[in-house]
């Protein structure tokens, strides 16, 4: 339970982090750098390269050369072996990566170890398994001309080419892995642009890939801001595929830009997930619903269950329990594993979350907790609102912090209608012990993932993505590989 002390490797890495292009450390050609922060105290953690279009061009060209060269020529089993090695090295460097993530992102060291490190290693192992199982099909066809000629068709799955991966700051390492692992398994090469706030573990990941035997140029990292670094990457003519996780607003810009060149695109965007709690739910699960469903990662998860709809028979009880959980969460630095609410990622995001709370109060919603957070660092105390109307910003717009709402309902169909009354459709949950209710209502919920008696727990084998404005496409599972593959039909006459 002691506060984690920072290792010498981490301190030494922080002194001069560089991008990685074509297997070599790279400073921005302009010489520009920018500061990244430690959200727990607001101090500057490191200076990282602020890349521009010229750096992006070098990275994409390196990725294209590596795609045409060693990577696409390797046997699937060789690629698989390298992916397995990456997983081992992520574990071997686990404590260093976890510390780096907690220092830069702010999250609990427990979550850094569990999600950023362990689940990322497992993700590489899972995708390594698919590297040797890429397959097409043989097809009987009915082409009638010329008379007497017969045909047999088959499909080949071919790597799409250079992938631009653009990631958000909430799970920096894990989000990068969700993209890099299937892309590499499919035989693609990658240029990763991590969120400007949290680039450090992405740089280490690229170095680890190299150490694991990934050839130079296969995984490149360019650090910098959305418009200066992300936009030229999206627009680069040699990028074949864009995989993006981030806000719906940015996702739309990227989608439009991608379509101009008909680039393939996967978009994992925002959410405003409902948790629908029926009278017959197991009330012992309320603590888990709030702790993991709502406040996991200080509410900075795209699937966070932030709109709780509880049926009238249990509403008062649910409100009491969830308010008690919200009040009792220990707030403080992620380096102390006892803290359950950690700083949000940046001063800018802290101001956003606070503004959402203030707007809620102004619009007439009622804050139940009213706690204060430590003044040093980017902390926001968790808040629970009641009396929130469906049309309020608090109900419709993403806060992406430790802020939830609770609303009673009588009629189940009305609850489903309220749950669906949002532009988002990423995650949702229903809480019931009645299998008939589950079977009846799950199909009516507009969300890419519906949990039953649980919330907010993705798995590498379970397709993940959004309906409506929460995105296009799915990650995870076998289907994730298809995001990085083209289908070629081969038609053979005989
Ligand atoms: P963001 O959209 O501001 O930034 C995401 C990334 O896009 C960053 O790397 C940023 O630099 C880059 N970017 C910004 N403008 C760009 C441009 N014009 N061209 C190219 N790249 C650009 O999002 P954020 O604030 O970093 O992350 C929080 C958001 O991510 C939330 O909306 C959250 O719901 C979403 N999210 C979604 C999922 C999911 O799987 N659906 C997972 C995690 C987070």
Q: Can you say how many angstroms the Cα of residue 22 is from the centroid of all Cα atoms in its chain?
A: 25
Determine if ligand 1 sits within 6 Å of the CB of residue 231: yes
Determine if ligand 1 sits within 6 Å of the CB of residue 271: yes
pLDDT of residue 359: 98
- 390-418 pLDDT, tens digit per residue, is 999 999 999 999 999 999 999 999 999 99
User: Which helix (H) or strand (E) segment is 94 a member of?
Assistant: helix 94-105
- 297-355 pLDDT, tens digit per residue, is 999 999 999 999 999 999 999 999 999 999 999 999 999 999 999 999 999 999 999 99
Compute the distance between CA of residue 107 and CA of residue 99 in angstroms, rounded to an integer: 10
pLDDT of residue 343: 98
pLDDT > 90: percent of the chain:
99
Pocket test for ligand 1, best of 49, 104, 164, 168 (most atoms within 8 A of CB): 168
Determine if ligand 1 sits within 6 Å of the CB of residue 340: no
* Dihedral Cα 275, 278, 280, 281, nearest 10 deg: 10
State whether residue 489 is helix, strand or coil: strand
The 8-class DSSP code of residue 196 comes to T
Q: What does the block give as tokens for 237?
A: 């003519």
Complex-level ipTM:
0.95
Distance between Cα 286 and ligand 1 center (Å): 30
Neighbours of 350 (CB within 10 A): 20
- 181-223 pLDDT, tens digit per residue, is 999 999 999 999 999 999 999 999 999 999 999 999 999 999 9
Model confidence at 2, pLDDT cuts 50, 70, 90, reads: confident
Sheet with 485-493: strands ordered across: 138-140, 151-159, 485-493
Distances (CA, A) of 368 to 86, 324, 356, 458, 493: 46, 10, 15, 30, 72
pLDDT of residue 420: 98
State whether residue 263 is helix, strand or coil: coil
pLDDT of residue 1: 61
User: Which helix (H) or strand (E) segment is 308 a member of?
Assistant: strand 305-311
pLDDT at 118 over 80: yes
Mean pLDDT score of the chain, rounded to an integer?
98
Determine if ligand 1 sits within 6 Å of the CB of residue 228: no
| Spatial contact of 161 and 149, defined as CB atoms under 8 Å apart | no
pLDDT of residue 204: 98
Residues labelled as active-site residues: 268
Determine if ligand 1 sits within 6 Å of the CB of residue 176: no
Nearest CA to ligand 1 atom 30: 246
| Spatial contact of 270 and 247, defined as CB atoms under 8 Å apart | yes
Compute the distance between CA of residue 119 and CA of residue 13 in angstroms, rounded to an integer: 23
- The pTM of this model reads 0.98
Determine if ligand 1 sits within 6 Å of the CB of residue 50: no
Distance between Cα 247 and ligand 1 center (Å): 4
Closest ligand 1 atom to the C-alpha of 349?
25
| Spatial contact of 401 and 421, defined as CB atoms under 8 Å apart | no
Nearest CA to ligand 1 atom 22: 226
pLDDT (average), residues 232-236: 98
pLDDT (average), residues 2-6: 91
Closest ligand 1 atom to the C-alpha of 178?
40
Q: Where are the beta strands (DSSP E) in 61-205?
A: 138-140, 151-159, 162-166, 189-193
Closest by CA to 37, choosing from 400, 350, 248, is 350
Phi/psi at 92 (5° precision) = -60, -35
């Amino acid at each position: 339970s002691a506060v984690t002390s920072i290792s010498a490797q981490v301190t030494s890495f922080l002194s001069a982090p560089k991008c990685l292009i074509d297997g070599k450390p790279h400073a921005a050609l302009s010489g520009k750098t920018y500061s990244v922060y430690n959200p727990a105290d607001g101090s500057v953690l490191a200076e990282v390269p602020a890349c521009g279009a010229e750096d992006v061009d070098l990275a994409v060209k390196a990725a294209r050369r590596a795609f045409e060269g060693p990577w696409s020529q390797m046997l699937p089993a060789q690629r698989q072996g390298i992916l397995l090695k990456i997983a081992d090295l992520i574990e071997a460097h686990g404590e260093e990566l976890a510390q780096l993530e907690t220092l830069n992102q702010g999250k609990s060291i427990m979550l850094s170890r569990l999600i950023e490190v362990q689940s990322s290693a497992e993700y590489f192992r899972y995708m390594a398994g698919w590297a040797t199982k890429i397959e097409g099909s043989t097809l009987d066809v009915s082409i009638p001309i010329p008379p007497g000629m017969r045909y047999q068709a088959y499909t080949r799955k071919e790597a799409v080419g250079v992938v631009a991966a653009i990631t958000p700051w909430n799970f920096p390492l894990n989000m990068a892995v969700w993209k890099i692992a299937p892309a590499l398994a499919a035989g693609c090469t990658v240029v990763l642009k991590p969120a400007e706030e949290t680039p450090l573990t992405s740089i280490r990941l690229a170095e680890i890939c190299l150490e694991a035997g990934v050839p130079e140029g296969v995984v490149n990292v360019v650090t910098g801001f959305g418009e200066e670094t992300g936009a030229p990457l999206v627009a680069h003519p040699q990028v074949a595929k864009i995989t993006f996780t981030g806000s719906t607003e940015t996702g739309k810009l990227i989608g439009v830009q991608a379509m101009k060149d008909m680039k393939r695109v996967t978009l994992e965007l925002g959410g405003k997930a409902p948790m629908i709690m029926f009278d017959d739910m197991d009330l012992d699960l309320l603590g888990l619903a709030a702790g993991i469903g709502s406040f996991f990662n200080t509410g900075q998860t795209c699937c966070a269950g932030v709109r709780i709809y509880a049926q009238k028979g249990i509403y008062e009880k649910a409100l009491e329990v969830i308010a008690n959980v919200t009040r009792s969460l220990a707030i403080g630095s992620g380096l102390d594993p006892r803290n359950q609410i950690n700083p949000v990622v940046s001063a800018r995001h802290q101001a956003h979350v606070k503004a959402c709370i203030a707007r809620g109060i102004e619009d007439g919603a009622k804050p139940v907790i009213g706690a204060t957070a430590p003044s040093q660092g980017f902390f926001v105390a968790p808040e629970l609102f009641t009396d929130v109307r469906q049309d309020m910003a608090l109900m419709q717009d993403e806060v992406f912090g430790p802020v939830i709402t609770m609303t009673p309902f009588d009629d189940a169909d009305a609850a489903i209608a309220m749950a669906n009354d949002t532009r988002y459709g990423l995650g949702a949950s229903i809480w019931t012990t009645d299998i008939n209710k589950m079977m009846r209502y799950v199909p009516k919920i507009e969300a890419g993932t519906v949990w039953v008696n649980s919330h907010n727990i993705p798995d590498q084998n379970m397709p993940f993505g959004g309906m409506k404005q929460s995105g296009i496409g799915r990650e995870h599972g076998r289907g994730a590989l298809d995001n990085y593959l083209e289908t070629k039909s081969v038609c053979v006459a005989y």
